[in-house]
Amino acid sequence: MGQAYSTIMGWALGPDWTELTRECLLDIFSRLSLEQRCIGAVFVCKTWMNACQDPSFNSVFDLETEFQSLPCSTSWWWCPEFGDKIDALLRSVVNWSQGSLKEIRVRHCTDHSISCPNLEVLWVKYCPQVTDESMLNIALMCPKLKELDISCSYEISCACVEMIGVYCKSIETFKRNWMDLAEVWRLQRTRFRFVPPNDLDDPSIVLIFGNIDAHVIGKYMHQLKHLELRFSTLSDKSLAKLCKGCPHLEYLDLFGCRKLTSDGLTNNISNLKCQETKLHSPYYLI
């Protein structure tokens, strides 16, 4: 009776998934997304947690798809508590990777979590608390960096961009997009104050951000193939220097660059050897 009861109860409860071999668990967990592993499977038991922490699952940390699936520019993303959660998750993945982490695509993290050597891809856009402190370390620790996106991360200076150009000679994709003024105004009406003030019409800002960025990129990033500078404040003269210094560009996005003129765009585009060049408007170039 006891054996029959146990058999019936065992069938009712189902198999003991914790007794699967590590090889089976790794095969199963490889079919899960990062989110499914980090907020689900890792908390089931110690065996599953150890399997989820295998370095083979932690060579890529990509939350961009998750951000894109949510309402655009959700205000609470800008609060410190949200940044702390992103930092905690990223630090865990860095530790679990045991040095094998090659790609990070994230938003709203801080300096506290951006410390990973040997990266090849780094996206830290919309990260108002990522500063020169961590990015200078990235420049020194990641000589094989091929792709960098620091869009709308306003605490990263032009000097830091120069360091990236000097030390990361393999970089082929660079994105330094700025925030649309309409988005700046919208966020300034919220209670979160991690966006830049509305001073983009200040001539000093035009000089510091737009023109110096263009000069640094043209001087140090000759190997670039993909460049995005949306809503930058670079001038026609700076664009000319950039195009001269980056002859291998295949994609150039200058959407919203209101200091550029149609003549300046047309004259400088002709000097590029892009595989495909399209001029959609005076402010949009591919």
Q: Is a pLDDT exceeding 90 seen at residue 148? A: yes
Residue 105 and residue 136 in one domain: yes
Decide which of 37, 55, 73 is a domain's last residue.
55
This prediction has a pTM of: 0.79
User: Residues with Cβ < 8 Å from 217, sequence gap 6 or more?
Assistant: 161, 165, 174, 176, 224, 227, 242, 245, 246
Residue 133 and residue 16 in one domain: no
Residue 222 and residue 280 in one domain: yes
Q: Is the dihedral of CA 74, 78, 80, 83 positive or negative?
A: positive
Residue 94 and residue 125 in one domain: yes
Residue 49 and residue 76 in one domain: no
Tens of pLDDT, residues 262-285: 888 888 877 776 654 444 444 444
Q: Give residue 30's domain range.
A: 1-55
Q: Can you give the CATH number for the domain in which 152 is found?
A: 3.80.10.10
- Residue 186 has a pLDDT of 62
Tens of pLDDT, residues 226-275: 999 998 888 899 999 999 999 899 899 988 888 888 888 888 877 776 65
Amino acid at 248: H
Tens of pLDDT, residues 27-68: 777 777 777 776 777 767 777 777 777 777 778 888 888 777
Residue 112 and residue 249 in one domain: yes
- Residue 285 has a pLDDT of 44
Residue 146 and residue 68 in one domain: yes
- Residue 265 has a pLDDT of 84
Mean pLDDT value across the chain = 78
Tokens of 250: 């295949």
Tokens of 285: 């170039």
Residue 95 and residue 27 in one domain: no
- Residue 55 has a pLDDT of 77
Residue 29 and residue 153 in one domain: no
Top-confidence residue, 126 or 33: 126
User: Are residues 246 and 225 in contact, defined by beta-carbon separation less than 8 angstroms?
Assistant: no
Distance CA(134)–CA(111), nearest Å, equals: 5
